[in-house]
Amino acid sequence: MSFADQVSAQASLGAMRCDRFRSLWHHIELEHVEPELIALAYKAAPNLPMRQLLTMRHFLDAFFEPEAAEQMKQLPNSYWFHSVFAQSVLTAAINGCCLETDRRNRISLTAYNLAVETLRLAASARFDLSLTLDRLSPVQVAVRSIYGILVLRTKGIGREAEAELLVNSIFKID
Q: Residue ranges of the domains in the chain?
A: 3-124, 133-171
Q: How far is CA 92 from the centre of its chain?
A: 15
Q: What is the largest CA-CA distance in the chain?
A: 52
Range with lowest mean pLDDT among 1-5, 100-104, 167-171? 100-104
Indicate whether 55 pLDDT > 70: yes
Query: What distance in Å separates the CA atoms of residue 95 and residue 114, rounded to the nearest whole number?
Result: 10
Q: Quick one: pLDDT at residue 104?
A: 62
Q: Quick one: pLDDT at residue 9?
A: 95
Range with lowest mean pLDDT among 31-40, 69-78, 136-145, 154-163? 154-163
CB hemisphere CA count around 119 (13 angstroms): 26
Rounded to two decimals, what is the model's pTM? 0.91
Q: Quick one: pLDDT at residue 99?
A: 63
Indicate whether 103 pLDDT > 60: no
Mean pLDDT of the chain: 91
For 92-107, what is the mean pLDDT? 68
pLDDT category, 95, cuts 50, 70, 90? low
Indicate whether 155 pLDDT > 70: yes
Q: Quick one: pLDDT at residue 20?
A: 94
Nearest C-alpha neighbor of 143 from the set 163, 128, 155: 128
